Amino acid sequence: MAGLLFLPIAAPLVAASLAAIFGWHRWTAIVTALSAMAILGAGVTLAFFTDGESVVDSHHLVRADALSSTMLLVIGAVATLACLASIGYIDAELADGHTSPQAARLYGVLLPLFLATMALSVMAMSIGVMWVGIEATTVVTAFLVGHRRTRAALEATWKYVIICSFGIALAFLGTVLVYFAGTTGEPGNHSLDIDVLLSGAARLDPRVTSLAAGLLLLGYGAKAGLVPFHTWLADAHSQAPAPVSALMSGVLLSVAFYALLRVKSIIDLTLGEGFMRVGLIVMGLLTLAVAALLLVVQTDFKRMLAYSSMENMGIVAIAAAVGTRLAIAALLLHVLAHGVAKALVFVSSGAIQGAHGSTAIANVRAVLARSPLVGSAFTLGIVVLLGLPPFAMFASEWGVARALAAQHFGWLLGTMLVFVAIAFTGLVRAGSSMMLGAPQAGDTPFVPPRAIGGTLILGIGLSVALCFSLGPLTNLLDAAATTLGAGR
């Protein structure tokens, strides 16, 4: 079992080592894709073994329960799509002279390192090691955001590094204060272990813990793209390579929120469930409002997709604030469905950008007619993100709405639905202007590289498969919610 626990971290590290030694080649890129599939396979296997019970290795380094298994499914599914798409993306970049073999080698090393750091974050036994994993994602992705070395990419990189580093510094202070808040009776090197903190939460000093809670909420909230530290998100996601944007939007934001859920489960035992609820509601609603209003006026389709991620993280924050078993299960389903859909639209957007040489919505038209595969994939991804039935995000948003109603948060539900409707309008208007219409003079058909085309077909299949997998996922999501103490 220990080998299975370390597989999601070890497999990407092996892929990164091979890319560092041999450079960017088709076979090293395939190894990276295989490492992403290994993460997905480990998540599926651990989901059967955990069933609400923790699985811990003998050295107290990593752990697996229903929640971390769910997150491994998210990481593995989105990473598989992103890594497969990277093959076609980097090959096209090299052929067009937009990148060098040295930059391609660096990309080949950093991409699996990104996967390893996210896997470490969701499997860490200690919230201190979890913080290290989240911080490591910032370092790795900073170089990936600036991959093309343009002025806009470098500016986005610096903004990302400065804001997220500030947020992670706040999370570090919060973690230190949790350690300082009291003794749990365990040796010092285990006092930040998640299970130890959960069992000893009643002995934590409430005043110190309340300060730690605020710092952790702001710190991890910044990395999750929540207001007020959200300004890095659109720049970074719009300038990063399309597969990296898919990983950042579809997985990284959720991994940061996973860290927030872990510490919230401890703080709730010390201070009560209502302490962090207010902060999550305020940040969630503000994030939802800002994203919805910016979606309506957006003129760049990659920035549009980034603000769509903000919108969905706002919904996730509101669901976490409710904190019931239904709300947490719906939150996790939302994260999974959003990750797959966002990978689909970002990979499609890379093909659209390559064909048009622009990310301006006004410069893109008749994509469905000119490239049926790319247009169909992008359209399906937008439909999923809009939360339309029968797709999984409809079920997740319906679950969040039911949870809000059950807890008598009618005003919150009504406000959330207003902003969701505004975001809906912005996505429909922009998406339809890009996809529909007849080609004009000079609008030639375009076909994505084979690797990207295959990725789009796989992404469409995964989005459709999620419509029929809610039954098998229900037990896992319910067990994950129980792990966080939902419904206590």
pLDDT at 189 over 80: no
Kindly state the average pLDDT of the residues 363-390: 94
- Cα angle, residue 354 at apex, residues 348 and 360 outer, rounded to 5°: 80
Q: Would you say 378 and 432 are in contact if contact means Cβ atoms under 8 Å apart?
A: no
Q: Print the SS3 string covering 64-81.
A: ECHHHHHHHHHHHHHHHH
Kindly report, residue by residue over 27-78, the tens digit of the pLDDT. 999 999 999 999 999 999 998 877 656 676 656 789 899 999 999 999 999 9
The pairing of beta strand 55-56 with beta strand 63-64: antiparallel
8 Å CB contact between 310 and 230 = yes
DSSP annotation of 63 reads E
Distance CA(206)–CA(216), nearest Å, equals 15
> To the nearest whole number, what is the mean pLDDT of the chain?
91
Task: Report long-range pairs for 300-303 (Cβ below 8 Å, ≥24 apart).
Answer: 300/238, 300/359, 300/360, 300/361, 301/349, 301/352, 301/359, 301/360, 301/361, 301/364, 301/430, 301/434, 302/237, 302/238, 302/245, 302/346, 302/349, 302/353, 302/359, 303/234, 303/237, 303/238, 303/359
Each residue of 136-180: pLDDT tens digit?
999 999 999 988 888 888 999 999 999 999 999 999 999 999 998
In the prediction, which pLDDT does 185 show? Answer: 47
DSSP codes of every residue in 289-309: HHHHHHHHH--BHHHHHHHHH
C-alpha 251/C-alpha 312 separation (Å) is 12
Give pLDDT tens digits for 298-332: 999 999 999 999 999 999 999 999 999 999 999 99
pLDDT reading at 394 higher than 90: yes
Dist CA 403 CA 384 (whole Å): 21
Over residues 99-144, the pLDDT tens digits come to 889 999 999 999 999 999 999 999 999 999 999 999 999 999 999 9
Report the alpha-carbon distance of residue 484 to residue 476 in Å, rounded: 13
**pLDDT tens digits, one per residue of 221-243:** 999 999 999 999 999 988 999 99
CA angle 142, 79, 73 (to 5 degrees): 125
Which pLDDT tens digit goes with each residue over 404-447? 999 999 999 999 999 999 999 999 999 999 999 888 767 788 88
pLDDT at 488 over 60: no
pLDDT at position 186 over 60: no
pLDDT confidence of residue 53? 61
pLDDT (tens digit per residue) in 11-31: 999 999 999 999 999 999 999
Q: Is the pLDDT of residue 2 over 70?
A: no
How far, in Å, CA of 35 to CA of 104, rounded?
Answer: 18
SS (H, E, C) 210-248: HHHHHHHHHHHHHHCCCCCCCHHHHHHHHHCCHHHHHHH
Q: In sequence order, which ranges of 357-409 are alpha helices (DSSP H)? A: 367-370, 372-385, 392-406
Do 114 and 144 contact (CB within 8 A), yes or no? yes
What tokens does 467 get? 């419509």
Q: Distance between CA atoms of 30 and 275, rounded to whole angstroms?
A: 47
Angle at 428 between CA 425 and CA 430, to 5 degrees: 105
Residue among 134, 257, 129 nearest 197 (CA): 129
**What is the per-residue pLDDT for 184?**
47
Residue 51: its pLDDT value, please?
Answer: 64
Residue 245 has pLDDT above 50, yes or no: yes
